[in-house]
Amino acid sequence: TNPIFTGLPTTIFEVMSGLARETGAINLGQGFPDIDGPEEVRRAAAEAFLAGPNQYPPMMGLPVLRQAVAAINKRFYDLNIDWQTEVMVTSGATEALADAILGLVRPGDEVVLIEPLYDSYLPIVRQADGIPKPVRIAPPTWELDPQTLAAAFSDRTKAILINTPMNPSGKVFSRQELDLIASLCLKHDAVVISDEVYEHLVFDGGRHVSPMQLPGMRDRVVRIGSAGKTFSLTGWKVGYVTAAPALMEPIAKAHQFVTFTTPPALQTAVAHGLSLGNDYFDGFIAGLQAKRDRLSKGLSALGFSVLPSAGTYFIVTDTGPLGMDDDAEACLRMTREAGVAAVPVSAFYVSNPPKRFIRFCFSKRDEVLDEAVARLAAWI
- Which residues of the shown chain bind ligand GLN in the complex (CB under 6 A)? 11, 13, 30-31, 167
Which residues on adjacent β-strands are paired with residue 157?
A: 110
> Which among 351, 332, 352, 345 has a CA at the least distance from the CA of 15?
332
The residue type of 95 is E
Relative orientation angle of helices 264-274 and 39-51, to the nearest 10 degrees: 150
Build a one-symbol-per-residue string for 99-118: x at contacts with ligand PMP by CB under 6 A, - elsewhere.
-------------------x
Min CB(96)–ligand PMP separation in Å: 8
Under the criterion CB under 6 A, does residue 230 sit at the interface with ligand PMP?
A: no
The one segment of 232-240, 284-292, 299-307, 340-348 that binds ligand PMP by CB under 6 A: 232-240
Edge-to-edge strand ranges of the sheet holding 239-242: 87-90, 239-242, 221-226, 191-195, 157-163, 110-115, 131-136
Beta bridge partners of 154: none
Angle (CA) 63-198-349 rounded to 5° is 120
Give Cα separations from 95 to 72, 77, 91, 106, 307 (angstroms): 21, 24, 6, 18, 30
Which residue, 101 or 185, is less far from ligand GLN as judged by CB? 101
Provide the CA 255 distance to its chain's centre, in angstroms: 19
Per CB under 6 A, does 209 bind ligand PMP?
A: no
| Gap between the Cα atoms of 246 and 241, Å rounded | 13
For the CB of residue 239, give the shortest distance to ligand PMP in the complex, in Å: 5
* Residue 200 interacting entry, from ligand GLN, ligand PMP, none, C-beta within 5 to 8 Å by type: none
Query: What minimum distance in Å lies between the beta carbon of 31 and ligand GLN?
Result: 3
> Nearer Cβ to ligand GLN, position 169 or 289?
169
Minimum CB–partner distance for residue 30 and ligand GLN (Å)? 4
Provide, rounded to whole angstroms, the least separation between the CB of residue 187 and ligand GLN: 32
Residues 165-184 that bind ligand PMP (CB under 6 A): 167
| Closer of 112 and 373 to ligand PMP (Cβ) | 112
137/347 with CB nearer ligand GLN: 347
Exposure string (b/e) for 255-274, b if CB count within 10 Å is 16 or more?
beeebebbbbbbbbbbbbbb
Residue 30 touches which of ligand GLN, ligand PMP, none (Cβ within 5-8 Å per kind): ligand GLN
Which residues contribute to the site for ligand PMP (CB under 6 A)? 31, 92-94, 118, 163, 167, 195, 197, 226, 228-229, 234, 237, 239
